[in-house]
Amino acid sequence: MEETTPEIPEFGGAEAAAALMGGIMGLVMMLIGLAVLIFIMLTLQKHYEAIASEYREFNPPGKVWMLLIPFFNLYWMFVVYPGLGRSYRKALEAKGITDAGDAGEKIGLWLAITSVASIIPLVNFVTGIASLIFLIMFLVRMADQKKRLLSAA
């Protein structure tokens, strides 16, 4: 019986350069994604820190970083995002501002829903875009609530 060795394809100069460029681009995209994620976590933490501890949904504010834990984050989104809106609403009501409405709680809930739905194949094309839109709306709404809270102090 004769042994055969599988042939290993050889890469020429162009193929190797293309593979290297693809790898570098993938690494750059991962680093950009990580930077955006860190920015969002820091922003959420600063929002929770702006609220007095008796009005926060959870303490310490550093617990927002638990969103980085795989699979657990699918649950934790439903605590962090809507909870920030509820926390701002409670803090604003304590300052006598009663026109805050839900203070972004519903946007936070929809952000969590669309973020979780973004892991479903074929649905993620729509929910991924919706999640990005809700994230922008949520961050803008939270910045507005923070300004209102700090100006009422």
Tens of pLDDT, residue by residue over 70-109, are 999 999 999 999 999 999 999 999 998 888 788 899 999 9
Share of the chain above pLDDT 70, in %: 95
pLDDT of residue 97: 87
Share of the chain above pLDDT 90, in %: 71
pLDDT of residue 116: 95
pLDDT band at 25 (very low <50, low <70, confident <90, very high): very high
Do 142 and 84 contact (CB within 8 A), yes or no?
Answer: yes
Rounded to whole angstroms, how far apart are CA atoms 70 and 57? 22
pLDDT of residue 153: 63
pTM: 0.82
> Does the pLDDT value for residue 56 go beyond 90?
yes
Residue ranges covered by each domain of the chain: 14-152
pLDDT averaged over every residue in the chain: 90
User: What are the CA-CA distances from residue 55 to residues 86, 89, 95, 100, 126 (Å)?
Assistant: 9, 9, 11, 15, 35
pLDDT of residue 61: 86
- In the 8-state DSSP scheme, what is residue 12? -
pLDDT of residue 18: 84
